């Protein structure tokens, strides 16, 4: 027992002497710097596809732990990492619109500024920092303002994809009894059309079926009907050629 007590005393002295980054590694609040160890705020990666476009969030999930969060532990009017530990990171495989504003395909650090009745959602070009401690407004790619909502209690912070439609979804932060959605949409028809053209330059373009599927998809959209006709003509030509190929 004496050895255990002496060990805890030494650990306490080391923690007091060495300035460790604030985090959620050990119960006393200190953070491991040399070893990979389990974190109290565990990592989660969630992805939603819209059409052919993927939205991915990579973040750590802090717990409420009986705290009064927004306006207290997380101050109103200050930039917050929107998670725990390293940057919360959001990525888009194609160009999108967030709350109606354009945002290029890419990977962004996700930060938020909460207030009682409005939150600012920030997409930073810097996605590799620790938390929001080195956040720089000059690196913003986009800011949008949204309204927080009341939600069911969530002990662990979570990001969910809600109100899913063929070309949009609401990315929603849920923690404690607060829900903060921001809407992401994509020009699905344009993205898929370009993808089809690229696929037809590869194996998809060596059989009549690829051109036929392309024409049928375009026909379903009711757009680019001239392109659909060209692809259906190519499908018929390919199916009637020797070995089914146009050489």
Strand ordering across the sheet containing 106-114: 42-50, 53-61, 88-92, 106-114, 119-124, 140-146
pLDDT tens figures, 232-247: 888 888 877 655 554 4
Q: Give the strand pairing for 106-114 and 119-124.
A: antiparallel
Q: Cα 71 vs. chain centroid, distance in angstroms?
A: 25
Closest listed residue to residue 189, CA positions, set 3, 76, 53, 2 = 53
Closest listed residue to residue 149, CA positions, set 135, 137, 168, 163 = 163
* Residue 9 token pair: 């005393």
pLDDT tens figures, 161-206: 999 999 999 999 999 999 999 999 999 999 999 999 999 998 878 8
* Residue 85 token pair: 């530990």
Residue 197 to residue 202: CA distance in whole angstroms: 9
Q: Per-residue pLDDT for 21 more than 70? A: no
* Residue 140 token pair: 């913003």
Average pLDDT over residues 128-138: 92
Q: What is the pLDDT of residue 23?
A: 43
176: left (phi over 0), alpha (psi -120 to 50) or beta: left
Find where tokens 């953070």 sit.
Answer: 31
């Amino acid at each position: 027992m004496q050895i255990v007590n002496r060990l805890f005393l030494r650990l306490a002295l080391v923690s007091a002497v060495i300035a460790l980054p604030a985090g959620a590694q050990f119960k006393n609040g200190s953070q491991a710097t040399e070893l990979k160890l389990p974190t109290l705020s565990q990592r989660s990666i969630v992805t939603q596809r819209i059409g052919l476009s993927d939205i991915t969030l990579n973040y750590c999930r802090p717990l409420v732990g009986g705290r009064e969060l927004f306006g207290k532990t997380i101050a109103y009017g200050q930039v917050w990492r929107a998670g725990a530990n390293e940057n919360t990171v959001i990525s888009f495989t194609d160009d999108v619109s967030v709350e109606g504003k354009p945002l290029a395909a890419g990977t962004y650090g996700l930060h938020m500024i909460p207030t009682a009745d409005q939150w600012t959602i920030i997409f930073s070009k810097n996605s590799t920092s620790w938390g929001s401690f080195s956040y720089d407004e000059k690196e913003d790619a986009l800011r949008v303002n949204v309204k927080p909502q009341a939600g069911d209690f969530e002990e662990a912070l979570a990001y969910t994809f809600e109100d899913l439609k063929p070309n949009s979804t609401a990315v929603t932060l849920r923690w404690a009894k607060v829900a903060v959605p921001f809407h992401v949409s994509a020009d699905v028809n344009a993205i898929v059309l370009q993808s089809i053209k690229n696929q037809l330059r590869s194996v998809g373009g060596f059989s009549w079926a690829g051109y036929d599927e392309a024409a049928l998809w375009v026909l379903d959209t009711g757009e680019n009907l001239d392109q659909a006709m060209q692809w259906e003509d190519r499908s018929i030509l390919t199916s009637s050629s020797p070995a089914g190929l146009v050489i």
